[in-house]
Amino acid sequence: MMARFTTDAIASCALGINSNSLKDPNSEFGRRIRKVLEFTFQKGFVEVLAFFAPHLNNVFRVKFMDEETNNFVRQMIWNTVEHR
């Protein structure tokens, strides 16, 4: 419940959107954000690489998020910018 509340608070404050995570635990925004934040070995490696050797990120072309999630986040931000 606290994770859903935090998701709602961040979505409201940072993006100005209503994610409805408290009312709908399986909301699209909540699912996508959980996917971004879930830990995998690959994400851990990318984070360590970005911190200690950021120039290698360009060489290996590693990504923090998969393409579908990346597109969702970008679209959400652009929709918010256009709305404002």
pTM: 0.61
User: Residue 5: what residue type?
Assistant: F
pLDDT of residue 16: 80
Torsion angle of C-alpha atoms 7, 23, 32, 16, degrees rounded to 10:
-50
Per-residue pLDDT for the chain (84 aa), expressed as one digit of tens each? 888 888 888 888 877 888 888 888 888 888 888 887 788 888 888 888 888 888 887 787 777 777 888 888 888 888 888 877
Instruction: Look up residue 19 and give its two tokens.
Output: 């994610």
Q: What is the total count of domains within the chain?
A: 1
Structural domain boundaries enclosing 37: 2-83
Q: Where are the alpha helices (DSSP H) in 1-84?
A: 2-10, 28-37, 41-52, 54-60, 67-83
Q: How far apart are CA 55 and CA 17, in angstroms?
A: 35
pLDDT of residue 6: 83
